[in-house]
């Protein structure tokens, strides 16, 4: 049975990716900050995908110790890892000059440092297998600055830089690294914005993109994938 690890998996893009991989026959290990949400999904998915296993772990990836504890838990339930999706993140709009003190540290920790620490802990298992695929959930904000991006944009630029360096390092280990760069996705943070859902990317679109990239031949690696609303950025 193939295995996958997804962070921030109880809503939005992470949830959609988890469901896609379960539908394709994967066992998954997921984390989120809320135990109740994790337990509800575990029960729901056990009924919907009875041949797959769902391992849950409550962790705040804004805390290094909890991030490392999740990685340790993953290695206790999986001896090999086929897919790692570094998806956990949060968002604060604002301006660098006036945003709240601590936003940069928080966003860098959740988006970049968590991906860095989890990847480092899981890499020995992937290297031993000489294969696997790491997906880092970047953003359009990883590619260009925009008004109001502030520390979020800095963190997403940094995550793309992490992905680029990681890919070069892992080529000889046959481990692929893909940066997913979506525009506005219709998740909880956008609901209530007064725009129709049709103006957004669906989380399921991102999940299908991850699956398509993973399904390519062993000699092909989609390095950076940009997904935007058909009518343009919001």
- 3-state class of 147 per DSSP? coil
Inter-residue contact 221 to 174 (CB < 8 Å): no
Nearest residue to 4 via CA among 157, 135, 155, 198: 135
CA distances from 6 to 85, 197, 217 (A): 5, 25, 22
Nearest residue to 14 via CA among 65, 83, 72, 79: 83
- pLDDT value at residue 7: 98
- pLDDT value at residue 190: 73
Which tokens belong to 172? 């000889």
Separation CA 148–CA 211 (nearest Å): 32
Separation CA 53–CA 46 (nearest Å): 7
- pLDDT value at residue 24: 98
- pLDDT value at residue 224: 98
- 3-state class of 188 per DSSP? coil
* Residue given tokens 């992470």 in the structure block: 14
Separation CA 208–CA 219 (nearest Å): 20
- pLDDT value at residue 91: 87
Say how many CA atoms lie within 13 Å of 210 toward its Cβ. 32
Nearest residue to 180 via CA among 197, 200, 198, 156: 156
pLDDT along the chain (234 residues), means of 10: 96 97 98 96 97 98 98 97 96 91 96 98 96 97 92 97 98 98 84 81 97 97 96 88
Inter-residue contact 38 to 10 (CB < 8 Å): yes
Inter-residue contact 201 to 229 (CB < 8 Å): yes
pTM of the full structure: 0.96
- What the chain holds in terms of domains, given with CATH numbers, is 3-227 (3.40.50.720)
Determine how β-strand 54-58 pairs with β-strand 175-182. unpaired
- pLDDT value at residue 86: 98
Say how many CA atoms lie within 13 Å of 150 toward its Cβ. 19
Nearest residue to 177 via CA among 111, 67, 89, 86: 86
- pLDDT value at residue 87: 97
């Amino acid at each position: 049975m193939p295995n996958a690890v997804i962070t921030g998996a109880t809503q939005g893009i992470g949830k959609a990716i988890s469901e896609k991989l379960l539908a394709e026959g994967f066992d998954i290990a997921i984390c989120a900050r809320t135990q109740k949400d994790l337990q509800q999904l575990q029960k729901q998915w056990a009924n919907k995908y009875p041949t797959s296993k769902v391992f849950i772990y409550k962790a705040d990836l804004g805390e290094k110790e909890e991030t490392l504890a999740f990685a340790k838990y993953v290695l206790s339930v999986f001896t090999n890892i086929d897919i790692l999706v570094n998806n956990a993140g949060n968002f604060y709009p604002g301006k660098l000059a006036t945003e709240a003190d601590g936003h940069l540290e928080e966003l860098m920790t959740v988006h970049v440092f968590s991906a860095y620490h989890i990847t480092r802990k899981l890499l020995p298992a992937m290297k031993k297998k000489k294969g696997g695929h790491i997906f880092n959930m970047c953003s359009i904000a990883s590619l260009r600055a925009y008004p109001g991006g502030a520390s979020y944009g800095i963190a997403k630029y940094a995550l793309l830089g992490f992905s680029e360096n990681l890919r070069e390092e892992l080529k000889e280990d046959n481990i692929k690294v893909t940066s997913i760069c979506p525009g506005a996705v219709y998740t909880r943070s956008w609901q209530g914005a007064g725009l129709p859902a049709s103006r957004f990317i669906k989380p399921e679109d991102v999940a299908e993109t991850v699956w398509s990239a993973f399904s390519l031949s062993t000699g092909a690696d989609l390095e950076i994938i940009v997904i935007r609303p058909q009518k343009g950025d919001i």
